[in-house]
A and B are shown apart, each in its own frame.
Chain A
């Protein structure tokens, strides 16, 4: 009886052990959101905070949490720099770029200021550039692809410009926080 039980337990262990190591890994890979710049390995990047728990929990024990998930001094500095930059943009006056040019819309700079931390977390490379129309352009590049998000008071234009092929992908929508942060983090337009 004892011998039979031991054999049964042994068989279970033999069968279950490989699954223990393979199944969670498969599941983890399937659950991790596709983050283009992570898969390409071209930059350290970032993902929205709403994804952190998913990534860490599904990969815990198998893949170490990327360093950019650990909010430290560097990210605080980036956030501070972003806040200063937004402040600089907010101080521009109408006419800053010539006769008839407009300073960044207060609605845009206020929105940016209230989302500075999220923007930094989503994308550590993004730079903010004002236009003469009162909009603010967020731009960055990954390898040969240039990404642009032009924010107006109530709308936004997202552009993916592949400099190698000149393929252009664009979307013009109302200002959508979730879509913008996802675009910043993944470079994908939905």
Chain B
């Protein structure tokens, strides 16, 4: 168990389970998926926040939006792909404030540059899988940054008053 993960968190073993990650419009500049969306911030204590596959790509996105946060959609990285870059994933949904089916990918063993590199590799996996919700219709769908069903431009300028929501997903 890594120092960054709660002692009661359970290691995810099923390599084919796809963990769900929301991507903020500002981390999708010009319709390009940034690696920044796939490595954690120091304020996350080295843990990248995701939802488990059973939550569903659509529900994960709707939950995120319900907290008045923006998302251009849900992307996915499998537990096996995390393992492929030596990052373990844990179910830590028992922690206070976390939504059901929350999972954290543990980057705590790596310095910032390594995290950046792993983020790049995970982004490539997510990109290859394609956006899960709303599903990409074709190759050009990713370039469409004005997704009306997900992005609410009003939210961008809204004062953040939703601090009681889940930490991040």
Contacts and interface: CB of A to CB of B under 8 A. Distances in A.
Interface of A: 85, 88-89, 91-102, 127-133, 137, 139, 146, 148, 150, 157, 159, 161, 163, 166, 168, 170, 172
Given A85-B29, A129-B26, A131-B36, A157 B43 contact: no
A130 B117 contact: no
Contacts of B168: 97-101, 132
A129 B36 contact: yes
Interface of A (DSSP majority class): strand
Interface size class of chain B, counting residues whose CB lies under 8 Å from the partner chain: 35 or more
B113 interface: yes
A54 to B, nearest CB: 32
A89 B113 CA distance: 23
A176 B117 CA distance: 23
Nearest to A132: B41
A96 B160 contact: yes
Indicate the member of A85, A95, A128, A148 with the most B CB atoms within 10 Å.
A95
B114 A168 contact: yes
B51 interface: no
Given A95-B160, A101-B168, A130-B26, A168 B117 contact: yes
A101 B69 CA distance: 12
B44 interface: yes
B12 interface: no
A128 B28 CA distance: 10
B30 interface: yes
15 contacts: A89-B26, A91-B157, A93-B159, A95-B160, A96-B160, A98-B67, A98-B167, A99-B97, A100-B43, A127-B34, A132-B168, A133-B41, A139-B34, A159-B116, A168-B113
Contacts of B67: 98
Given A146-B120, A150-B116, 16 more contacts: A89-B26, A92-B26, A94-B160, A96-B70, A97-B69, A98-B49, A98-B166, A130-B36, A131-B41, A132-B41, A132-B43, A146-B35, A148-B35, A157-B113, A161-B120, A166-B117
B125 interface: no
B113 A95 contact: no
Nearest to B155: A96
A126 to B, nearest CB: 10
Contacts of B29: 85, 127-129
Contacts of A127: 29-30, 32, 34
Contacts of A161: 116-117, 120
B167 A130 contact: no
B113 A99 contact: no
Given A100-B167, A127-B30, A130-B26, A91 B41 contact: no
B99 to A, nearest CB: 11
Contacts of A157: 112-113, 116
A94 B162 CA distance: 11
